[in-house]
Chains A and B, each alone.
Chain A
Amino acid sequence: MTSLAPATRRLALSPINRRRLANFRANRRGWWSLWIFLFLFFGSLTANFWINDRPLLVRYQGQFYLPVFVNYPETDFGGFLPTTDYRDPFVQKEIKAKGWLIWPPIRFSWNTHKLDLPTPAPSPPTWLLSDRTCRPAALLQHKHPPPGEACNALEWNWLGTDDQARDVVARLVYGFRISVLFGLLLAGLSSVVGILAGAVQGFYGGWLDLSMQRFIEIWSSLPQLYILIIVASVITPGFFVLLGVLLLFSWVSLVHLVRAETLRARNLEYVNAARALGLSNNRILFRHVLPNAMVATITFMPFILNASIATLTALDFLGFGLPPGSASLGELLLQGKSNLQAPWLAITSFIAIALLLSLLTFIGEAVRDAFDPRKSFA
């Protein structure tokens, strides 16, 4: 009782969390994967600012415009359409005459159709084209023959275009974003539902447990894909409809795991000791049982996240996913399959999906190591 340890530092990391962080960092592969993934994810979240068919800033007739945030009608810039197509040469000419505009580095969005391709769509990456192929298109754009390489005078498609003349880089970045967001949301929501259902079943047991188990058995034997097809025929499957329908089935995967862990934990002596201290059932469940059941759950989490992303990709690939025209990794993969003569489509989508799923798996492994209480790290 000589030294009363300081009671402050509530916000600082507790020793066990510091140890977990150290354990996590000790797994170099997971640590690097996390940073790479965060970089990619942040990059895709801010895609509107660096890969978009709208300028970042427009100065026109002494006024500033922010087209990324606001939809200006074309009438503002001397046209007549309700929305402005900033890629339109007429609009560009008009703005440049009475002000200036700043473009993002890549001037395509996921739904921008490129109108002046040097070859029929799908068009290969511009750096693969020969000077002879580029020349007619360059001539058409600039009205006079370009000095030097004709391809350099064109607007570049770094990874080519798909069969509807949309830039593959833009499709990839926006598709990545929607896949990851969808996966995170689905994994998060289904974990919350699954963990709660499993914990309640395991902890309270008895009739509740029995009837819910039987319900889950019946429920999980419903054919998921057919239900999706039926739903898709009634309502247009948008992002949240898909999320909801997949959530109906995906929460089941964690229930058995959490239930088993809770069943085990509820008979341990520290639960009895907590009961003897006068803790209520809910408090015991959330403070004592669930945290100790979490390692098994967290071990499973990266796989659920991966499965969610893979499910969306698969549905898009089959054509039952997001509405037609949406950017998604599955749709890109489907284009690759239908256009075998355009290998840049298949190769790009394959590498993107493989990289994403591998990164998440590596991160998951590191998280699992970090949460293992008995793991020592040197």
Chain B
Amino acid sequence: MTSPLLHVTGLGIGFQARGALTPVVQDVGFTLEKGRTLALVGESGSGKSITALSLARLLPPAARVTGHINFAGDDVLAMSERQLRALRGRKITMVFQEPMSSLNPLHSIERQIGEILELHGTRKRDIRDRVVAALAEVGIPDPAGRLGAYPHQLSGGQRQRVMIAMALVNRPDLFIADEPTTALDVTVQAQILALLKDLQTRLGMAMLFITHDLGIVRKIADDVAVMQKGRIVEAGPAASLFAGPQHPYTKMLLAAEPKGAAPAVDTTRPLLLQTGDLKVWFPVRRGLMRRVVSHIKAVDGISLQVRAGHTLGIVGESGSGKTTLGLAILRLIRSQGPIIWLGKDISSLNSTAMRPLRRDLQVVFQDPFGSLSPRMSVAQIVEEGLRIQNSSLTATERRSRVTAALAATDLDPATMDRFPHEFSGGQRQRIAIARALVLEPKFIVLDEPTSALDMSVQAQIVTLLRDLQARHGIAYMFISHDLKVVKALASDLIIMKGGKVMESGPAAPIFAAPQHPYTRALFAAAFNIEAVSAAEVAG
């Protein structure tokens, strides 16, 4: 081969704002041959997506690009808008992270895929056949029957398959996948990755794969480039990079996976919380009289126990009802069935009677941006619970408790008068934990507290949570779809699907030998990124 398909040298990207240029990518260079896969790895904000967008010159107008992007012998940076249009969607295609917002909700999938074909000169009468073929290729069942389907009628995995079909229908030379599986459940993620790998071998295209998940990189990539703060800090063949990472950042990334295991179950500790056949059913109303015709069973008969100082892991894919279960236990939504807290049924208490109990039952949510009120300072956010639950405290006492709580979560108490937007995602999650911690609760519901964070930050938060548990003897209910994190924290485990328990019991035996087929499929996908056939998952 005389020249590589894609050759990038000295790529620099900056954003112009108010006369100042902020560099986001500096001196990036890599080479991609036909038929190979290059993974661009890095944490959020490392500039990997911007780099990918620059390859097809899709950057916003404020961006300033320098360097060389050589694609199949042509300089992309020197191309006219007309030449670029011929390039995009035909030679270079992309798939983005969020399949719901990448598809136009008002167009059928036939129209969306057909549009790309039409733009790049396919004859009208051939379009339908090619769309059907493309859908069959990405494994959509009954492709001819699904042509008229709209994006909302498809599942997340199917939407991503449609996106891939759109990207591949013109047989591109370079396929850019920007975190294509991050928004998907683990079992679906494994299927999509298997599909991508298979299509790449068959079509012989080059693939640029952007991800923050090293497990995926190990599975799919031939070459790896690790990005940090807009620079490539280490690059090389995947096998050698994983075997012997050179750069400290790469080593840190590889070491960042949550480690350690939870202590075994100590049955002598008292029972804190118990539920019996807990149900959350949302009524579906129809007709003029708004009769209840059926129910959406978000949580359908869950019985669980939490012992003091222990962690109960709740695992399930999106839509399995695990968050709803957490909200129901905290009495934040209506539910049926007893919730027994320290021997007393709290399921029928009104909000006034619940108030004194709230100091013992706390919660940390998934989104560290949405869970902190943007108009209150950190001190105000953390002390709010104290104002309600400990109204006798003076301002100084409150302040010192806030200081202690922030220090316990490894935040600098001197920053307590700042506002949430001045903190990073990991720091915000620590603030949310401090807000729960300041009341000295006995039990905290952790609703996916790590899934919005970068891998290395995840590991830090897991360590923090484990330390806090050891020091204060707090019980957790840890809700997550990420089995690696759950494995590091939970002593007991409940696997949920469709609002029902699939498997439950002490965590160690389940991780060692899962019994239920769904659990096995889940574990295979999560730990080995192996796709299991849809039929088995459905079981």
Name which residue of chain A comes closest to B381, CB basis: A270
CB neighbours of A278 from chain B (8 A): 354-356, 358-359, 385, 388-389
In the complex, A292→B370 CA distance in Å?
Answer: 12
Indicate if the CB atoms of B373 and A292 lie closer than 8 Å.
yes
CB neighbours of A281 from chain B (8 A): 351
Contact among B332, B362, B413 for A1, CB-based, below 8 A: B413
Indicate if the CB atoms of B388 and A1 lie closer than 8 Å.
no
Q: Is B404 an interface residue (CB 8 A)?
A: yes
Contact among A16, A270, A280 for B371, CB-based, below 8 A: A270
Contact among B373, B385, B435 for A288, CB-based, below 8 A: B373
Given known contacts A1-B403, A280-B351, A273 and B371 CB-to-CB distance under 8 angstroms: yes
Indicate if the CB atoms of A272 and B375 lie closer than 8 Å.
no
Q: Mark B322-364, 1 if CB is under 8 A from A, else 0.
A: 0000010010100000000000000000010011101101110
Name which residue of chain A comes closest to B374, CB basis: A373
CB neighbours of B359 from chain A (8 A): 278
CB neighbours of B419 from chain A (8 A): 15-16, 373
Q: In whole Å, how far is A286's beta carbon from the nearest beta carbon of chain B?
A: 12
Q: Mark out the residues of chain B between 398 and 443 whose CB falls within 8 Å of any chain A CB in the assembled complex.
A: 399-400, 403-404, 407, 413-414, 416-419, 421, 432, 435, 439
Indicate if the CB atoms of B384 and A274 lie closer than 8 Å.
yes
Q: In whole Å, how far is A211's beta carbon from the nearest beta carbon of chain B?
A: 15
Indicate if the CB atoms of B385 and A269 lie closer than 8 Å.
no
In the complex, A378→B22 CA distance in Å?
Answer: 14
CB neighbours of A4 from chain B (8 A): 399-400, 403, 413
Q: Is A29 an interface residue (CB 8 A)?
A: no
CB neighbours of A16 from chain B (8 A): 375, 377, 419
In the complex, A283→B372 CA distance in Å?
Answer: 16
Q: Is A63 an interface residue (CB 8 A)?
A: no
In the complex, A1→B389 CA distance in Å?
Answer: 23
Indicate if the CB atoms of B18 and A378 lie closer than 8 Å.
yes
Contact among B361, B367, B416, B417 for A269, CB-based, below 8 A: B367
Q: Is B365 an interface residue (CB 8 A)?
A: yes
Indicate if the CB atoms of B377 and A5 lie closer than 8 Å.
no
Contact among A7, A14, A15, A274 for B399, CB-based, below 8 A: A7
In the complex, A372→B255 CA distance in Å?
Answer: 40
Indicate if the CB atoms of B375 and A277 lie closer than 8 Å.
no
CB neighbours of B361 from chain A (8 A): 276
Q: Is A323 an interface residue (CB 8 A)?
A: no
Number of A-B contacts defined by CB within 8 Å: 97
CB neighbours of A10 from chain B (8 A): 395
Q: In whole Å, how far is A152's beta carbon from the nearest beta carbon of chain B?
A: 55
Indicate if the CB atoms of B371 and A276 lie closer than 8 Å.
no
Q: Is A218 an interface residue (CB 8 A)?
A: no
Band of interface residues on B? 35 or more
In the complex, A4→B399 CA distance in Å?
Answer: 8
CB neighbours of B2 from chain A (8 A): none
Name which residue of chain A comes closest to B405, CB basis: A1
Q: Is B392 an interface residue (CB 8 A)?
A: no
Q: Is A145 an interface residue (CB 8 A)?
A: no
Name which residue of chain B comes closest to A268, CB basis: B370
Q: In whole Å, how far is A145's beta carbon from the nearest beta carbon of chain B?
A: 68
CB neighbours of B375 from chain A (8 A): 16, 291-292, 373
Indicate if the CB atoms of B404 and A1 lie closer than 8 Å.
yes
Q: Is B268 an interface residue (CB 8 A)?
A: no
In the complex, A7→B393 CA distance in Å?
Answer: 13
Q: In whole Å, how far is A142's beta carbon from the nearest beta carbon of chain B?
A: 65
In the complex, A291→B418 CA distance in Å?
Answer: 17
Name which residue of chain A comes closest to B361, CB basis: A276
Name which residue of chain B comes closest to A289, CB basis: B373
Indicate if the CB atoms of A3 and B414 lie closer than 8 Å.
yes
Name which residue of chain B comes closest to A6, CB basis: B399
Name which residue of chain B comes closest to A294, CB basis: B375
Contact among B373, B374, B417 for A14, CB-based, below 8 A: B417
In the complex, A291→B374 CA distance in Å?
Answer: 9
Indicate if the CB atoms of B389 and A277 lie closer than 8 Å.
yes
Sample of 7 more A-B contacts, CB < 8 Å, known A7-B395, A269-B367: A4-B399, A4-B400, A272-B365, A277-B362, A278-B385, A278-B389, A279-B384
Closest 5 CB pairs of A and B: A278-B358, A269-B371, A277-B385, A278-B355, A269-B365
Enumerate chain B interface residues (CB-CB to A < 8 A). 18, 327, 330, 332, 351, 354-356, 358-359, 361-363, 365-367, 370-377, 379, 384-385, 388-389, 395-396, 399-400, 403-404, 407, 413-414, 416-419, 421, 432, 435, 439
26 A-B residue pairings within 8 Å (CB atoms): A4-B400, A4-B403, A5-B399, A5-B414, A14-B377, A15-B418, A16-B377, A268-B370, A269-B370, A269-B371, A270-B370, A270-B372, A272-B371, A274-B384, A276-B330, A276-B332, A276-B362, A277-B435, A278-B354, A278-B356, A278-B359, A280-B355, A283-B388, A291-B376, A292-B373, A373-B374
